[in-house]
Amino acid sequence: MITPRVMYGSASHGKTAFFAGGIQMDDNGNPIVVRTVEKHNADAKTWTMINGMHKARKFSSLCFLLGKFYVLGGRDENDKHLTCGESYDETTNSWELIPDMLKDMTFITPSQSPPLIAVVDDNLYMLETSLNELRVYDINTNIWKKLGVVPVSANTTFG
């Protein structure tokens, strides 16, 4: 990485991987939450800084969906859970803030794991760990549709 950090989100598509946000150390050795985003090209073996996100965030989840990279949730520099998401369009090199993307998510503990997500057939799914409920995201309405309870409970802290 160009900017060493921890607790970042990552996702890949083909030979490209994105690494967004996280915690890095400032010049005095203090941890700071960042908006930094880097792209790695596996073929060229290169790292590129791209425009930063709207929000600094750590412990977020990333995915590739319908031609864009998405960042969901995480916690800000005050350790507050973020309910917004962001999407990155490579053709315009820009981020779009998605307010209230996780507005219906329940946050039980400060150490709650990042959103547990998966993309299948261009659909974004999330396991709402506090309710043990599977949901699918409607990208056009910014609403998560409840699909039902899953048979095995996930741990809200460890995923």
pLDDT at 108: 65
The pLDDT value given to residue 159: 54
**Residues of the chain below pLDDT 50:** none
Q: How far apart are CA 59 and CA 110, in angstroms?
A: 11
pTM of the model: 0.90
pLDDT of residue 17: 96
Residue type, 44: A
> What is residue 157's predicted lDDT score, i.e. its pLDDT?
57
The confidence score (pLDDT) of residue 154 equals 67
What pLDDT score was predicted for residue 111? 64
pLDDT given for residue 158 in this prediction: 55
DSSP calls for 4-27: --BS-EEEEETTEEEEE--EEE-T
pLDDT the model gives residue 112: 67
pLDDT at 128: 85
**DSSP 3-state assignment of 31?**
strand
- Domains in the chain and their CATH numbers? 9-149 (2.120.10.80)
Length of the chain: 159
